[in-house]
Structure 1
Amino acid sequence: MNDATRHDMTCAELLIRLLRDTYQADTIFGIPGVHTVELYRGLHDSGLRHITPRHEQGAGFMADGYARATGKPGVCFIITGPGMTNIATAMGQALADSVPMLVISSVNRRDTLGRGQGRLHELPCQQQLLAGVSRFSHTLLDPEGLPEALARAFAVFDSRRPGPVHIEIPIDLFNAPVTPPTHWQRLRPSPPAPATTAIREAATWLREAERPLVLLGGGCVDAADAARRLVEGLDAPTVTTINAKGLLGRDHPLDLGANASLPAVRRLANEADVILAVGTELGETDYDVVFDGGFALSGRLIRIDIDAEQLARNQHAALAICADAGLALNALAPHFPERLERRGSERTRDALDALDLPRAPAFADYAPLFATLAEALPEAILVGDSCATTYAANHLVSQPAPRRFFNASTGYGTLGYGLPAAMGAQLGRPDLPVVSLVGDGGIMFTLPELACAVEERLPLVILLWHNQGYEEIRRFMDDAGVERLGVDLRSPDFQMLAAGFGCAATRVATPDELTRALATRPADGPLLIEVDAAAWADTIAHA
């Protein structure tokens, strides 16, 4: 912007301009309130799309799904006080899964902060509350500091382990005049590159290994080509975690999937003499979903992560490399221009054959479900809540590309994520079909977002697995010998509820019925497909 075109604008106007022009935001998720009215001045004509969820938690989940599907930070405008406590759960999920999210909120006037005067939406310290579910939480006290605060936020997204960033703006600053910056270019700090000596040492260890194993996490999703070249050059069986699903492509012969908690893959892990772990926390919800501490590594562990502190957590690394996963994979791959012969594909196939997942009792009911989905919608993004179908999909589903599968069963493990996150994914990727995997218990947390899906005419499929309550918790209670309480729920009539929202809906009990429902899904609105879990299981058992 040159001097001839510069003029004073308000802090709120500058925020909109920076988000749109400097950071290329295109969508805002938010619910207006009396404290944010001035924040909305000018938004209508800005070219930014505003999506109005029915709850701030839904806004956060939508931003999360948008970010995971597109790779761009999701942006939220949230009201002071209750708006922020409502979105805190969604921020916690995004923090656990390293999802970039920018939460802009209002806060009370500067002269009232911390005074406990009982003002509207007042919290003792809103910034301190949100600091625990964000990479950082910042209170803007001078409107001239807005460009710097945003630059800090996007620096986190671009060059550190991402996650939510919270910037709160006192309501007396929205209309405060501010001089626009002379330079509007986005700061793009380079993410950390691996040390050349460390890459050489890692390459030497991997070349000398007899039984290598690779563990790829969600930090690798933007480096699929390099990841594929490397594992193929190493001829190494590879675990792709839940957030890395699709990284090697569909049904790659070296892909063990997200099955590190199952016996045959655990044996491979324990027998491996060198393990390369890239962009993965090595956390419980990826490697130990049976919660028995049985995932053990006895070989030398090479660990690559953008977060230096994470390198010291969960598993001891013999060689720790603090670097961006993509830069590290691109540096390692050229060390293996020709495929080494380690029986990698054979070892992978033997492990998967031993698991025989489609016929395993725990997955037999779900295998036909996902086979039907893969045939009808092979390119679909699958977005899951914490529910039975999601838990099965973590093991059964193979996707053609990264950013096509994510859910709330990892890390924080919230309920209510599946529907609004799928909406965010559909808004971000209108070119792809999106399927939301939800249960009859979890969908009740955010069911009102169905109104927003209808309002925005989002053509997503909501696959509702109806098993009369919280099946996973029922199982844990039964296994622990605890009398069932609070898990057998009375369900509403979901068909009637969907109709009340103006949403198309149907019930299915067989794979053929599901195929027909998917073939006739509307192009201009959501479709709720309710699967009677008991009837479905009976059909599969007698097939």
Structure 2
Amino acid sequence: MTTVGEALITLLEAHGVDTVFGIPGVHTVELYRGLARSKIRHVTPRHEQGAGFMADGYARASGRPGVAFVITGPGLTNTITAMGQARADSVPMLVVSGVNATATLGKGLGHLHELPDQRGMMEKVALFSYRVTEAGELPGVLARAFALFSSSRPGPVHIEIPTDIMVNPADGISAMPANAGPPEPDAAAITEAARLCVAARRPLILAGGGAKRAEAPLQRLAERLGAPVVTTANGRGLMFSHPLGVPASPSLTPVQALMADADLVIAAGTEFGPTDYDMYGDDSFVLPANLIRIDIGADQLARRPARISIRADCRAALDALLAEIGKGQASSADGPARAAATREAAFAAIGPAIQAQMRAVEAIRDALPGSIIVGDSTQPVYAANLYYDHDRPGGWFNAATGFGALGYGPPAAIGAALAVPDAPVVCLTGDGGFQFTLPELGAALDAAAPVIFVVWNNRGYREIETSMLDAGVEPVGVSPAPPDFCKLAEAYGIAADRLAGIGGLADALKRARATGLPHVIEITVD
């Protein structure tokens, strides 16, 4: 007899899942029944939050949904933070949990791991939450989840299976295809957008995370129009070293001046969130009047109305726009000059201290070309989100925007390394953030994930301390004592280096990469 738990594994395989992150427990034992015989790799984090963050990093690096298995109650609530991050950054994540036996639900009888209304709680953070009550529902709900991931703005989905349902017979069920694709761009909207593009004399493109797999048509459109391209933090790498690239935050005054001067703005895959466009909270960002928006999500398009809204995958929309415009000379001859002037002014605007922190990120990029750098909320990451040009589309991401979950970097980097094993993967974290998920060093070792953990150790939450001082608040609670990270790494059997500043960082990174093993590099900062 095939059980529901065994069928789940078979169906996930049919949907292309090759890795699951999770911690088994008494409420999910039956979900693991078919796992050992499958081709799916299981990775055990040290905390369920780590399972969610690993699934997130896996999804961002690969473009495929990340999957986590967690127990009911505390296992699932531990995962909510990671789901919140995935929801904020449109990351496809499938969380499968157990739940107590059907007859006990909602009765408050004090069963192990009981919640008053687990599914009701998850509906507040997931795109949808579904309880499987019989075997025949499983193929349909999985097809629904994977169709959502591929056809609209993605995010976390939750499926719960009661313990009494997991063991039920599931013979004869098979996967339902999830053939749904993103909507095709509306022809009339493309025609009107092309007309505006050709007429524009000072066009500008804003590219966010939704455009990170549309590098080629984005560059061609920019060149055809002579339009500078401002990339948000999640869009970095799309225009590396390109004369029209502006790898600077739209929150910076020179970038906002560039937007204000443009007579047409094309926004591709960006939600105009304040952590990108108004991070200083001074209401300085004004939505452009002559705006073309491209986004796969109807809800996002509705939140920020534009003159022309195109609901489609960015690559498809940009390809269609290029075809409609046709060949010809650039609409704007001064695009490279406008981009260069903005780059220079934006770099000057961040000031020497932030420039120095950004140089640490450049040192990582230059030492390991084509790397994936996964950041946590730490000073060099904040700095690089303001200004930094990465050399791999989608290869720079972090939790310092949007939801802003501290401790994201280490487990997300493990997920990324397992998703793209040929790429160098560097986790850039601070001494404070690393302590949130420090035990995931063990998970990296177990999974043979060759992540290089670069720890920016300034002995505390210095960014928060600065904010307190700027607000006239005497700093309290911002100096948690860090451990000796190198000794902790060695306790796990992981090699480590300690550097005073970034002078020897490039050589240390190259040595670490050559080993093909997890490695810790601690940088002590004055």
- Shorter-normalised TM range: over 0.9
- Quote the residue 1:48 is aligned against: 40
Shift of 1:322: 2.3
Shift of 1:436: 0.4
SS of the residue aligned with 1:360?
helix
Shift of 1:321: 2.3
Provide, for residues 201-242 of structure 1, a one-character-per-residue CA deviation record: whole Å limited to 9, x for no partner: 111112111211111111112222111111111111111111
Q: Output aligned runs, 1:474-493, within 5 Å.
A: 474-493=465-484
- Quote the residue 1:285 is aligned against: 275
Shift of 1:268: 0.6
The TM-score normalised by the length of structure 2 is 0.96
SS of the residue aligned with 2:394?
coil
- Quote the residue 1:395 is aligned against: 386
- Quote the residue 1:379 is aligned against: 370
Provide, for residues 397-440 of structure 1, a one-character-per-residue CA deviation record: whole Å limited to 9, x for no partner: 32223221110012101100000000000010110000101001
Q: Is 1:271–2:271 an aligned residue pair?
A: no
Match of 1:469 among 442, 447, 460: 460
SS of the residue aligned with 1:14?
helix
Q: Is 1:312–2:302 an aligned residue pair?
A: yes
One-letter code of the match for 2:12?
L
Q: Is 1:441–2:429 an aligned residue pair?
A: no
Provide, for residues 337-389 of structure 1, a one-character-per-residue CA deviation record: whole Å limited to 9, x for no partner: 23414111110001111233598323232243233222210111000011111
**Partners of 1:481 and 1:530 in 2: CA distance:** 32
Q: Output aligned runs, 1:27-426, within 5 Å.
A: 27-181=19-173, 184=175, 186-248=177-239, 250-313=240-303, 315-334=304-323, 335-342=325-332, 343-357=334-348, 360-426=351-417
CA contact (8 A) 1:357 1:396 kept: no
Match of 1:452 among 431, 443, 457: 443
One-letter code of the match for 1:282?
F
SS of the residue aligned with 1:356?
helix
Change (3 A) 1:511 1:476: closer
One-letter code of the match for 2:524?
D
The TM-score normalised by the length of structure 1 is 0.93
Shift of 1:271: 1.2
**Partners of 1:323 and 1:35 in 2: CA distance:** 40
Q: Is 1:505–2:496 an aligned residue pair?
A: yes
One-letter code of the match for 1:259?
S
- Quote the residue 2:12 is aligned against: 19
**Partners of 1:211 and 1:358 in 2: CA distance:** 23
SS of the residue aligned with 2:112?
coil
CA contact (8 A) 1:272 1:297 kept: no
Provide, for residues 36-61 of structure 1, a one-character-per-residue CA deviation record: whole Å limited to 9, x for no partner: 11111121121210000000000000
CA contact (8 A) 1:192 1:324 kept: yes
- Quote the residue 1:429 is aligned against: 420
- Quote the residue 1:539 is aligned against: none
Provide, for residues 237-259 of structure 1, a one-character-per-residue CA deviation record: whole Å limited to 9, x for no partner: 111111111123x2111111142
CA RMSD of aligned residues (A): 1.6
CA contact (8 A) 2:432 2:480 kept: yes
**Partners of 2:186 and 2:504 in 1: CA distance:** 55
SS of the residue aligned with 2:181?
coil
Shift of 1:132: 1.5
Counting aligned pairs with the same residue, the percent is: 50
CA contact (8 A) 1:358 1:364 kept: no
SS of the residue aligned with 1:441?
helix
One-letter code of the match for 2:281?
F
Unaligned runs of 5+ in 1: 1-7, 535-543
Unaligned runs of 5+ in 2: none
CA contact (8 A) 1:160 1:307 kept: yes
One-letter code of the match for 1:349?
A
CA contact (8 A) 2:130 2:158 kept: yes
CA contact (8 A) 1:270 1:299 kept: no
Q: Which runs of 4+ in 1 moved over 6 A?
A: none
**Partners of 2:12 and 2:229 in 1: CA distance:** 39
